[in-house]
Amino acid sequence: MLTRRTLSGLIAGALGAAAVGGCNRKRLPPGHISLWFSYGGRNRKVLLELVKQFHREQHAVRVVPTFQGDYFEGLTKLRTGLYVEQAPTVTHVIGEALPYLAEAQVLEPLEDIGSEVIDDLVPALSQAGTFVGGGDRPLVGLPFNRSTPVAYYNKSIFRQLGLRPPKTWAELRSAARSACLRDSERTTRFGFSCPVDWWFWVAMVGQAGGEVVAPNGEVTLGDQAGVRALRLWQTMVHDERSMKPPPGRDYNAWEAANNDFLAGRVAMIWTSTAFLRYLEDNAPFAVGTAPLPSQQRAAVPTGGTFFVVPKGARPEERTAAMTFLRWMMAPAQANAWATRTGYMTVSKRGRAKLAQDGFFAQHPNDRVTVDQLKHARPWPWATQLLRIQREAVQPRLEAAVLARRDAATVLDEARKSLEGV
């Protein structure tokens, strides 16, 4: 019979066990490491195939991959995991989050991956080239799925209308107007579409000659360049009705832009190089890529994520993680990932091998993305970068573009929103 004392003992025991259990990091079997990832669809399949290949090639380290939603959901889970000491052994985070996590001192330094790996990284895609002064700081992120925005156009429509990919903002407006199809007042095909998203706005700020954060650390949001970027979108959406702002937020809008392009509802889109293979394989027409147009200069931000090793792993887990990362960064794997997804290979030797094997001659769209890299502009190493993106700029872009609020006022509000708590 269950006495009161027994019951009290059971409750106390359960609470005690829960308390003790809650304090301990979940242990994986020896030789196993956890990998949290945020790749969906095709990219997820490619990653899982690479993990399987890694397991076939060696038996000392087993990787346990777990899908954690999109980049921002993954970042949230990482942060929560760090707080409750249940972070994964390896994960990947967007570039904008790297300075924030590094300065919070929750990432392991990765220099011991070895100079063979570090020296082989494509400079513009590595931590050193992605951030202003990124090479002067401890190495905490290894690039893997790196990208830039690129213009995709429907070759059939462009050929039919005698258009060429735009090289300037003026040409972009002109091409977008020409590619529109209207049925009385209704637009049945838009010339251009692009997620009303921070990443593309940063690209335009750079093209208009501005910087989001000044070299002295002041958050300028590009000043007049930021305003000009927003005004270009406003003009194309409202005055010329040649740009379709895709519905939804964050990656929902990106997916909507892709779908509109594939369905022929839009003649040209800006999106990530990450979708190159997906768009090529699924479009019922020939897909062309082109560098983003210039205004005062050619400029694109880099995107995608870096592999990181959160603090808290046991030494043997960390060693296993480095084995896995060293294998993933090798030219063969970096190329396998890049050629099957559309992300850019992060290995210099890998890129040379692709050129030597004639890959770029056979895939001119990939060549465009690689050539555009010389115009990549580094991000500031600012702990505020993630906040500037998520809180100050991103939520206000919609108001500026869809509701046509004054661009200068919107950016002024964005700057002020960063003040205080």
Partner 1 sequence: MSEASLAPVRARHPYLLLLPTALVLGVFFIYPVAVALYRSFFAWDLLTDPQFVGTAHYSRLLAQGAVAGLVSRTLAYSLVVVLGAGSLGLLLAVLLNRPGRLYAFVRGSIFSAYIVSWVAVALLWLWILDPDAGVLSRAATGLGLGRIDWLGDPDLALYSLAGVSVWKITGYAMVIFLAGLQDIPKSVLEAAALDGATAWRRFWHVTWPLLRPTTVFVGTTSLIMSFQAFDIVRVMTQGGPIESTTVFVYAIYEQVFMNLRVGRASALTMVFFVFLLVLTAFQLWLWRRFSGRRTMGGS
Provide DSSP, 215-242. TTS-B-TTTHHHHHHHHHHHIIIIIS--
Dihedral sign for Cα 42, 45, 50, 53, please.
Answer: negative
The nearer residue to partner 1, 136 or 183, going by C-beta atoms, is: 183
Q: Which C-beta is closer to partner 1: that of 77 or that of 146?
A: 77
How many angstroms separate the CA atoms of 62 and 241, rounded?
53
* Residue closer to partner 1 (CB basis): 174 or 383: 383
Q: Of the two residues 245 and 350, which places its CB atom closer to partner 1 in the complex?
A: 245
Closest approach of Cβ 399 to partner 1, in Å?
Answer: 5
Nearer to partner 1, 326 or 387 (CB): 387
41 Ramachandran zone, left/alpha/beta (phi>0; psi -120 to 50): left
List Cβ neighbours of 94 (8 Å cut-off, separation of 6 or more). 71, 75, 303, 304, 305
Q: At what angle do helices 198-207 and 224-234 cross, to 10 degrees?
A: 120
Between 213 and 266, CB nearer to partner 1: 266
**Smallest gap, in angstroms, from Cβ of residue 199 to partner 1?**
16
What minimum distance in Å lies between the beta carbon of 386 and partner 1?
8
Considering only CA atoms, give the Rg of the chain: 23
Torsion sign, CA atoms 261, 151, 255, 230 = negative
Q: How many CB atoms lie within 10 A of CB 281?
A: 9
Which residue number, 17 or 361, has a Cβ lying nearer to partner 1?
17
Contact assessment for residue 110 and residue 142, using Cβ atoms and an 8 Å cutoff: yes
User: Least distance from C-beta 332 to partner 1, angstroms?
Assistant: 36
Q: Which residues contact 413 (CB under 8 A, 6 or more apart)?
A: 396
- C-alpha–C-alpha distance, residues 230 and 194, integer Å: 13
> CB 104 → partner 1: shortest distance, Å?
4
CA distance 176 to 151: 12
**Binding positions for partner 1, rule: CB under 8 A:** 72-73, 76, 79-80, 82-83, 101, 104, 106, 186, 245, 247-250, 252, 265, 386-387, 390-391, 395, 398-399, 402-403, 420-421
